[in-house]
Structure 1
Amino acid sequence: MGTLLPSSASFAAKHPAAAKPAAHKKAAAAAASANALPPLAAQTALADNPPALPAKAWLLMDFDSGEVLASANADEPLPPASLTKMMTSYIVEQALRSGKLKQTDLVTVSQNAWCRGSGTESCMYLPLNSQATVIDILRGIVIQSGNDASKAIAEHMAGSEAGFAKLMNAEAQRLGMTYTQFVNPTGLPDPEHKSSARDLAILARAIIRDSAEYYPIYAEHDFKYNGIKQGNRNALLYTDPTVDGLKTGHTAEAGYCLVTSSKRNDMRLISVILNTHSAQARADHTRTLLGWGFGSFEKAVPIQPGAVVTTAKVSFGKADTVGAVLGAPWMLTVPRGQQVQATVELKPGLEAPVAKGAVVGKVVATSNGKPLGETPLVAQADVERAGLLLRTWQYVAKWFGK
């Protein structure tokens, strides 16, 4: 950690076990490099020339659509290490949003949650039997990757780590994290504790989407608690101003892992690197993957918001047709220079009454015959049901094909 974090000097001073001689660091780096995995080529890619990255799994996702732009071993269950804490923090954030927790609520640090300062695990260094506010605990989880903070909030919310793991798994199932099984809130090794690159990208997307009030914490460079200032372990936060999260992870079994979000202009991408050989490697591979993504894709707007896409026929209404417009602004992420075609599909047999905003069809976007996405078409205005006399005439006209 000391090689990456600007604030690590004060931490090392208080915890001498964290400091390592320069020669030892160089030897460790050389050994890690020698243990690097062979480059793993993309198994899926929506643009040409995706990178091959020396990791057990990797993935790049478009935030807006949730579409995977490129990946390798995306669904292989692997140990996620401290990437687990994204689910722990997400549950805390949603509890804060719903009012189940308040930022000022006090969380007690039990014997089980307390970190003994051995230097073998990530800690917020909460004193035994002390109390900390929920918002400080959240920062300790996100920025300092505190195992103590994660255990303490788990016990506070669910009585035990096992009870909190049930909440984690229920939330994972709700989000569609198919290959994930959580056993604890920290990511400490357990044979049953697994997640996949795709699942972790889904979780990262949920955090950015659902936790807007708290997401800026993931970009904070450091946090001081109990007199100990520790820096965020995500090295990209210090070198790339477009990066604003999310989480690092490392154990001997999981290797070095990193989930990152970067926004450039109107495009946000989420990258996942699982089990590479060093902290430097996970940062470098992420830079490579994001660089390829932003260089290979662009945003396309197939239809302008507010434009009448088509008119839909309406039976038995005071009006025979209604304008069909987009239900929401529609933006696609497509390979650069690719032409996009939009095809309209209307619901058959549309009958009045039709409420403004009711779905009347959809637009499907394709390129070179491949589907890119779709979005609903909705009624531009209300169409009231016609009176009995007019409906009778319309029935007759319809019967004779007029």
Structure 2
Amino acid sequence: MIIGISSRIAAASACVMCAAGVLVLGPATPSPAPGPAPAPARADAEAPDGPWATAPWPGLLYRSGTQVRPRRAAPELPDLSAQSWLVADARSGDVLAASNAHLPLPPASTLKILFALTVLPSLPGGIRHRVADEELTGIGPGSSLVGVAEGRTYEVTDLWRGVFLSSGNDAVRVLAALNGGWHTTAARMQAKARSLGALDTYVLSPDGYDTDGQVSSAYDLSVFGRAGLRNPDFARYCATVEAWFPGRDGGTFPIVNTNRLLTGANGVAPYPGLIGVKNGYTTEAGHTLVAAARRDGRTLVVTVMNPRAGGGLAVYEEARALLDWGFEARGHVDPVGSLDALRARPRPGPDPVPAPAAASVDDDEGPGWSEAAVITGGSVVGGTVVALVLWVSRRRPSGR
């Protein structure tokens, strides 16, 4: 028997098959390649020029020069000489004002903030370690040192104090060795930076020592400082003013935090409410500083990179001026960006390692479709359509 199918039935079947294909295969279309997540659009934000025109909020911070959006009665910004700077609310991530926020510059020892963010979780303070000679090789000439000695046993807590207080590149070397090695640590720091949306940072020397191609930005360093303050160990270390460090001969000696805005040393008045974070200096970078302070339940984080006037203390005084302005500006300025704006949201996709059968799905992204589900769904819907066509055909006279 020849089964006859009218042209109308065939056309309808084709449409059903196409619709079924869309329904089943549509969600399985590969997601766009991961990249910076666009920030929420703001109706009151100034639309910038160039490639950020559809995402005006983070785009403002890619412009050169000072960016601020004052309301009526807003305080006037201080006159600063820094090559780049930023002030932000640590809780919300709102950037209150900035200048050359994404300008890539050598970070000096402020890069140790990212080092601590990356390595602290895997090296708790109670571990004891005997330092080997090779762990102290490769330290750059002129590096700041806390006084780690080969053959001496230290608690990891001692080494972290050496990093935060004395900015000791020797302590960084030993901790990096415990973390898998110098190059492994640099790679992990790079990955950590990207996960936080810090896209200006390139890590080559985990201690921040001047290295061709190693850069960060005021934006990225502020992101690191804010993230560090959320780690209780990090927050405790960076707020420590002085401590005792094990000496080579078995005794101890005092070390003092080099952040003068915290300690008030060398003619710099301590800033009320300061809670960290880290200062730095190299020949290429000049003076750099990430500082955070808390007042009336509000925490601000500021970054100042390479002041070009005022000598070695200018980085502290310019950070002080930005903190004063930020606290006074509360409610009088609109944000010009966010420290969360460039963080990539997780996207569903193939896992580089075998995943458990009951792997969870990111609620923000909605349910995904596996290849098996697509094939199975297509087979079920296709089979249903074929059966329907056969049933309709049998209801009509056969042959012509």
Query: What is the TM-score normalised by the length of structure 1?
Result: 0.60
- Contact 1:92–1:138 (CA<8 Å) still a contact in 2? no
Q: CA deviation at 1:157?
A: 0.8
Q: Corresponding residue for 2:160? A: 138
Say if 1:53 and 1:152 are closer, same or farther in 2 by CA, change over 3 A: same
- Contact 1:55–1:274 (CA<8 Å) still a contact in 2? yes
- Contact 2:304–2:315 (CA<8 Å) still a contact in 1? yes
**After the TM superposition, which residues 33-182 of structure 1 pair with which residues of structure 2 at under 5 Å, given as runs?**
43-47=66-70, 48=74, 49-95=76-122, 101-114=123-136, 120-158=142-180, 160-182=181-203
Q: Which amino acid aligns with 2:82?
A: A
- Cα distance in 2 for partners of 1:149, 1:117 equals 10
**After the TM superposition, which residues 2-401 of structure 1 pair with which residues of structure 2 at under 5 Å, given as runs?**
43-47=66-70, 48=74, 49-95=76-122, 101-114=123-136, 120-158=142-180, 160-209=181-230, 211-225=231-245, 226=247, 227-238=252-263, 239-277=270-308, 278-298=311-331, 335=333
- Cα distance in 2 for partners of 1:118, 1:200 equals 22
SS in 1 for 2:288: strand
Deviations for 1:214-269, whole angstroms, at most 9, x for unmatched residues?
A: 41221111222123322111111131230010000000110011100001012110
CA RMSD of aligned residues (A): 2.4
* Amino-acid identity (%): 30
- Cα distance in 2 for partners of 1:113, 1:255 equals 28
- Cα distance in 2 for partners of 1:111, 1:56 equals 39
Q: CA deviation at 1:120?
A: 2.6
Say if 1:199 and 1:64 are closer, same or farther in 2 by CA, change over 3 A: same
- Cα distance in 1 for partners of 2:326, 2:150 equals 46
SS in 1 for 2:82: coil
Aligned length: 256
- Cα distance in 1 for partners of 2:65, 2:320 equals 16
Query: What is the TM-score normalised by the length of structure 2?
Result: 0.60
Where does the alignment leave 5 or more consecutive residues of structure 1 unmatched? 1-40, 96-100, 299-333, 337-357, 360-402
Say if 1:175 and 1:128 are closer, same or farther in 2 by CA, change over 3 A: same
Q: CA deviation at 1:205?
A: 0.8
- Cα distance in 1 for partners of 2:189, 2:302 equals 22
Structure 1 stretches of at least 4 aligned residues deviating more than 4 Å after TM superposition:
115-119
Where does the alignment leave 5 or more consecutive residues of structure 2 unmatched? 1-63, 264-269, 335-362, 365-400
- Contact 2:86–2:219 (CA<8 Å) still a contact in 1? yes
Q: Corresponding residue for 1:12? A: none
- Contact 2:69–2:333 (CA<8 Å) still a contact in 1? yes
- Cα distance in 2 for partners of 1:118, 1:189 equals 9
Q: CA deviation at 1:103?
A: 1.9
- Contact 2:78–2:321 (CA<8 Å) still a contact in 1? yes
Q: CA deviation at 1:110?
A: 3.7
- Contact 1:117–1:123 (CA<8 Å) still a contact in 2? no
Say if 1:147 and 1:280 are closer, same or farther in 2 by CA, change over 3 A: same
Q: Which amino acid aligns with 1:152?
A: V
- Cα distance in 2 for partners of 1:275, 1:240 equals 20
Normalized per residue, which structure has more strand?
1
Q: CA deviation at 1:213?
A: 3.9
- Cα distance in 2 for partners of 1:117, 1:167 equals 20
